[in-house]
Amino acid sequence: MFRTLASTVLALAACAGAKWIVPGARWYDTDGNLFNAHAGGLCVDQETGKFYWFGEYKVQGQVEGGGISVYSSDDLATWTSHGLALTPIENHTYVSNHNRIQRPKVIYSEETGEYHMWWHADDDSYSWLLQGLATSPNIAGPYTFVSATSPLGNWSQDFGAFTDYKSGRSYALYSNGDRVEGRDVYLSRFNENLTAVEEVTYRFPKYDFEAPTIIQTEKSYFALMSHKTGYRPNNVVALRADNLEGPWSQPFFVSPAYTRTFSTQSGFSWRIAGSKKTTYLYMADQWDLNSLWESRNVWLPIEIDERDGSLEVVWHDIYDLNVKTGEWKPIKGKTYISKHAELSGQAYLQEASFASGNRIATGIYGNDSKVTFTVDGQGTDQWVSFYHQNIDDMGFGDQPQGQPDRINGTWQLRRISSVIVNGDEENVHTLYQKDTHKGIILSTPLLLPLKEGKNTITVGGLYNGFDYKGADLDRIVVYPPEGGRNKGKRFWWW
Ligand SMILES: *[C@@H]1O[C@H](CO)[C@@H](O)[C@H](O)[C@H]1NC(C)=O
Ligand SMILES: *[C@@H]1O[C@H](CO)[C@@H](O)[C@H](O)[C@H]1NC(C)=O
Ligand SMILES: *[C@@H]1O[C@H](CO)[C@@H](O)[C@H](O)[C@H]1NC(C)=O
Ligand SMILES: *[C@@H]1O[C@H](CO)[C@@H](O)[C@H](O)[C@H]1NC(C)=O
Ligand SMILES: *[C@@H]1O[C@H](CO)[C@@H](O)[C@H](O)[C@H]1NC(C)=O
């Protein structure tokens, strides 16, 4: 009953108006469950033209071994679950729940008439470094295991795949491991029937990058990859070339330095050749190392300037994408800065040259030291983005990029704030605030029930396993209701 009603309400909402893309939010499928497909990739159904997204399925307490989930969508915003496309098989050598089944990519093979799923296949200590292949006549699966092989005798770790829209040929992208003999990223052409990698097209030598993907424009190829910092984000880079065989440019950052690509890791990208515009999407993971199953998806438009070969991933809290025309537009919200908010307890405004109005709210802590914003609402659920700075952790392992403000000497990846709307303490909303560099302000969205007229939004600190500190707050932005005319309580079960 619950699910049926929820899907009905969502289906109505989907008709009422375009659904927006909200990077870094909790995404829910049409059954009301968390969108659970990490390090994934898209494939289009040959017959229906529908999008299918495949990714690693992760549940609470289980980091690996969940198999590969699949969702379908017409608009890249509304997703319907089709369960597992590849289900782990007990005691199987390559696809048991003790194996690594990571970074799946699905490509249709015209020769075999089947969908081919490729992934990074490994044991639990990453000692094999293989590529897995499973096939299915149906895009949503179930997929049947075919093989786990080493491409042309080489190691293969983080896996990506890409199809050249001009030649129609598909390519595998893979880093060849962390050992000194490896540390390359390979770009290799698949054979015509997509059953094996047949030739190395280019080797990105010794950069020690991973999580590769390629975006193709009219003139260029851009390969995006991350540095290797595990599940911690870093500054993703791009390299450009006229031909896949190279020469390739020097790597360059794809977003402002120190934002760590808005706390994300690359992994997939997509070209939407719409009727009015070609749009490129960066489709990344915002990993949560403390609880991987809660990791978010961050999909953002990519801006490319062919004149100087530059590419930029640009942050938008919310945008409206039309996959038919290729057009998209950022949604405009109303900004409320901390400088004009009400502070209580030990919370105070501190001078900060990088903050809105030269002041940032700091000292937010537990139940007593809080910041309260008074905002206008429209009597429905509305997205609110919270812009914070959290400098608990400024480095990674042996690559510190500054001194951390550690909580009791422990590296921390996130603070957690409580968000209370109109004093309703029964319904505390949880806001994860990932670490940033000093002076870097990033945002996290929450969907909040606002009433018509004035509302208060109060931010305090919640326990993150170490302390009750909330991150420093710069401002919040309140967005109009999604779909415009949909005024009902759409997400009533939140
Ligand atoms: C898997 O292996 C274990 C240990 O050898 C065995 O007890 C179990 O029956 C096996 N399961 C299947 C489905 O073969
Ligand atoms: C496999 O990797 C080794 C070491 O990086 C390299 O020398 C060799 O050329 C690679 N083979 C192929 C076919 O790329
Ligand atoms: C795919 O093509 C290769 C030759 O490139 C051939 O050896 C193989 O049998 C083909 N496999 C299928 C499933 O068609
Ligand atoms: C905040 O209030 C809750 C509920 O009253 C309580 O459980 C929690 O310990 C308080 N936290 C702090 C840091 O005071
Ligand atoms: C921080 O360290 C002190 C001294 O070791 C200890 O008493 C305190 O409980 C610690 N606090 C947290 C939040 O771990």
CA 192 / ligand 3 centre spacing (Å): 8
Ligand 4 lined by 345 (C-beta under 6 Å): no
**Architecture in CATH for domain 5-330:** 5 Propeller (2.115)
Q: Please provide the DSSP assignment of 448-494 as one string.
A: EEE-SEEEEEEEEEE--SS--BPPEEEEEEEPPPTTSS--S-TTTT-
Ligand 4 lined by 480 (C-beta under 6 Å): no
For the chain (494 residues), the mean pLDDT of every run of 10, in chain order, is 39 55 97 97 97 97 91 98 98 97 98 98 97 98 98 97 98 95 97 98 96 98 95 94 98 96 97 98 94 95 97 98 97 98 98 98 97 98 97 57 50 88 98 92 98 98 91 98 56 32
Instruction: Give percent helix, percent strand, percent coil of the chain, each to the nearest 5.
Output: 5, 45, 50
Alpha carbons 447 and 458: distance in angstroms, whole number: 14
Nearest-atom index, ligand 4, CA of 365 = 13
Question: What residues contact 65, with CB distance under 8 A and at least 6 apart?
Answer: 88, 96, 97, 98, 99, 101
Ligand 1: which residues within 6 Å by Cβ? Answer: 90-91
Smallest-distance ligand from the CA of 112:
3
Structure confidence at residue 156 (pLDDT): 98
Mutate to test the pocket of ligand 1, among 90, 96, 97 (most ligand atoms within 8 A of CB): 90
Q: If you take atom 13 of ligand 2, which residue's CA is the nearest one?
A: 152
pTM of the model: 0.91
Q: How is the chain split into domains, by residue range?
A: 5-330, 334-478
CB atoms within 10 A of CB 451: 12
Overall CATH class of domain 334-478? mainly beta
Smallest-distance ligand from the CA of 146:
3
Q: If you take atom 2 of ligand 5, which residue's CA is the nearest one?
A: 408
Ligand 2 lined by 198 (C-beta under 6 Å): no
Nearest-atom index, ligand 4, CA of 461 = 13
Structure confidence at residue 466 (pLDDT): 80
Alpha carbons 25 and 31: distance in angstroms, whole number: 17
Q: If you take atom 3 of ligand 2, which residue's CA is the nearest one?
A: 154
Ligand 4 lined by 468 (C-beta under 6 Å): yes
CA 409 / ligand 5 centre spacing (Å): 10
Nearest-atom index, ligand 3, CA of 193 = 1
Tell me if the bond preceding 137 is cis, omega within 30° of 0: no
- How far, rounded to the nearest angstrom, does the alpha carbon of residue 163 sit from its chain's CA centroid? 21
Ligand 5: which residues within 6 Å by Cβ? Answer: 408, 466-467
Question: What residues contact 205, with CB distance under 8 A and at least 6 apart?
Answer: 184
Mutate to test the pocket of ligand 3, among 152, 195, 198 (most ligand atoms within 8 A of CB): 195
Q: Both ends of the chain: CA-CA distance in Å? A: 16
Structure confidence at residue 6 (pLDDT): 40
Alpha carbons 64 and 61: distance in angstroms, whole number: 9
Q: If you take atom 1 of ligand 4, which residue's CA is the nearest one?
A: 367
Token code pair at residue 329: 């537009």
Alpha carbons 222 and 243: distance in angstroms, whole number: 10
CA angle 283, 286, 287 (to 5 degrees): 130
Ligand 3 lined by 335 (C-beta under 6 Å): no
Strand intervals (E) in 262-308: 265-273, 278-286, 296-305
Nearest-atom index, ligand 5, CA of 410 = 14
